[in-house]
Amino acid sequence: MTLGLRAAGVSHRYGAVTALEGVSLDIPAGETTVIVGPSGCGKSTLLGILGGLLRPSAGEVTVEGSAPEGCLNRLTYVFQDFALLPWRTVAGNVALVLEPHGLSREAREAREARIAEVLSMTGLSEFADAWPRQLSGGMRQRVGIARALAVRPAVLLMDEPLSALDAQTRELLLDEVSALIARAGATVVWVTHNLAEAVRLGERIVVMSRRPGRIRAVLRRGEAAATEAGLWAMIRDEAADAARELADG
Amino acid sequence: MAEPVPFRARGFASRERGWAAALTLLAVLALWQIGAELRWFSVAFLSTPAAIGRALWHLALSGELGRDLAASLGRLLGGWLAGTLAGLLAGLAIGLSSTLRSPGMAEVSALFPIPKIALVPLFIIWFGIGEGSKLVTVGFGVFFPMAISTIAAVDAVPRNLIRMGQSFGLSHSAVVWRIVLPGALPALLAAMRITAATAIILLVAAEMIGAENGIGAFVLRAGNLYDVDALMAGIAVLSLIGLAAARLIALAERELLKWR
């Protein structure tokens, strides 16, 4: 059993700019939902609202179901910029999110074991004592993923986790990350602007319109439009509409 | 014609060379001593390094230097620690609380520009000619730069790191202890370098205005007696105190910021 999310009529404004308008969306438990859309359409804003890091201007998000046993943080982020603490080692960064969960000797031993486990899963065992500045971008994101997995998340909220990496590293890491999250058994919401990534990962693909972001389509894997070309056609339409509106004044 | 590509990325990567610092200091002292021997200037107005060394030696043997140094170090350490701690706590409170930020910033901004030396007579009236007025002068002078630096240091901690901590369910106090304070630490240590120098300036001023002992009072006494050797020996001790403080903070930086 794990959690699902439901956004109902979610809107969000940054001052005079409406980033999201009337977004209603179901994130089914245990599935990987990928959110794509043109740049600036509010994908990351929506993810922030889904995870409780942004308060919507209107609407609400609810969680449905119950968190699996051992889950220490239900809604867990993996950040685009890694968000690693530079003053902590790789192991220290993972430890950060486990430290609030008990100070006893048993808790400390369990924490050490969990850190070793996730570092091994992500291929970072040899780098446990390295500082983040000593790692490449791909390695840093592995640390971000190890940190997220350490808390046995119910929902993984991935905010363009591979977009800060070069194409080669992204390609190599994509399969690895998707295997890791499949093993974690969590519900996944993955925001990306990379359509190939969306098609490879998404059991459901949510296509958003240009700003203000609305849901333009929700596609299931295997549907005719759920291909790179199909997604690209939709996003190109959105860009063309935006250009037309601009030209019309 | 083939020619090797010239290397053009020299400089802009300063490294510390301890021997160069020591050598420069020795060269300056030697030049100073030679200048005096060759009568480039009058030793009645500017002592020689050798004369200052002799004066220091006699002052140390007589116990006078020890007494004054102990009095000054006690005031310096007490005032600096109290002012730094108070400034740190006030800066954290102002930097982390929306409720305190505007009123706190207004107070700090209004009081910071007042030359603290001008307040020494007032502190003597309030706290007496004893230790209290000196401690308050140093502490008050250190408080404001420390508070302002702490506010700026807290503001400079990347917000994405704080949001990361919150997204993992860290409590407010855990975010402060594990993210805000370590993130602010480089700027806080840099501020301590400045407040240590400020503390020495204010200590000397307070001791010159109203104290019977301490290095500031000693320098003033030597000046009144036209004893330039002793006067400059006192100044040399102040310089050494400043150097020692900077060295201690550098050691703390090396230990606490080894991740950089």
- pLDDT tens column, B167-214: 999 999 999 999 999 999 999 999 999 999 999 999 999 999 878 899
pLDDT reported for residue B24: 95
Task: Name the band, by pLDDT with cuts 50, 70 and 90, for residue A136.
Answer: very high
CB atoms within 10 A of CB B37: 11
Which pLDDT belongs to residue A1?
Answer: 64
Nearest Cα to Cα of residue B246 among B205, B197, B211, B207 = B197
The residue in chain A having the minimum alpha-carbon distance to the alpha carbon of residue B175 is: A96
User: Which residues of A fall within a CB distance of 8 Å from B169?
Assistant: 72-73, 97, 100
| Position A224 confidence tier, pLDDT thresholds 50, 70, 90 | confident
Q: State the Cα–Cα distance between residues A223 and B66, nearest whole angstrom.
A: 87
Q: What average pLDDT does range A28-50 have in this prediction?
A: 94
A246 has pLDDT over 80 = no
| pLDDT for position A226 | 83
**Is the per-residue pLDDT at A242 higher than 80?**
no
Q: From residue B140, how far is each of B36, B72, B77, B224 by CA, in Å?
A: 41, 17, 13, 29
Q: Do A100 and B179 touch (CB under 8 A)?
A: no
**Euclidean distance between CA atoms B110 and B103, whole angstroms:** 11
* Predicted ipTM of the assembly: 0.90
Placement of tokens 């859309």 in the chain: A37
Mutation site for A-interface testing, chosen from B159, B160, B167, B177 by largest number of A Cβ within 10 Å: B167
Tell me the chain A residues in contact with residue B165 when contact means C-beta distances shorter than 8 Å. Answer: 96
- What does the pLDDT look like over B17-50, one tens digit per residue? 889 989 999 999 999 999 999 999 998 899 999 9
Q: What is the mean pLDDT of chain A?
A: 91
Q: Which stretch of DSSP H or E encloses residue A77?
A: strand A75-78
What pLDDT is stored for residue A235 in this prediction? Answer: 84
**Chain B residue with Cα closest to A48:** B167
The predicted structure's pLDDT at residue A171? 87
- Does residue A102 register a pLDDT over 80? no
Q: What are phi and psi of A87, to 5 degrees?
A: -90, 5
Nearest to B160 among A52, A81, A88 (CB): A81
C-alpha B120/C-alpha B122 separation (Å) is 5
The 10s digit of each residue's pLDDT in A170-187 is 888 888 888 888 888 899
Q: Which of B204, B201, B179, B199 is nearest to B249 (CA)?
A: B199
Q: Is the pLDDT of residue A120 over 90?
A: yes
Question: Taking a C-beta distance cutoff of 8 angstroms, is the pair B252, B189 a contact?
Answer: yes
Instruction: State yes or no: pLDDT of B129 exceeds 90.
Output: no
- Establish how many alpha carbons lie within 13 A of residue A182's alpha carbon, considering only the half-sphere containing its beta carbon: 9
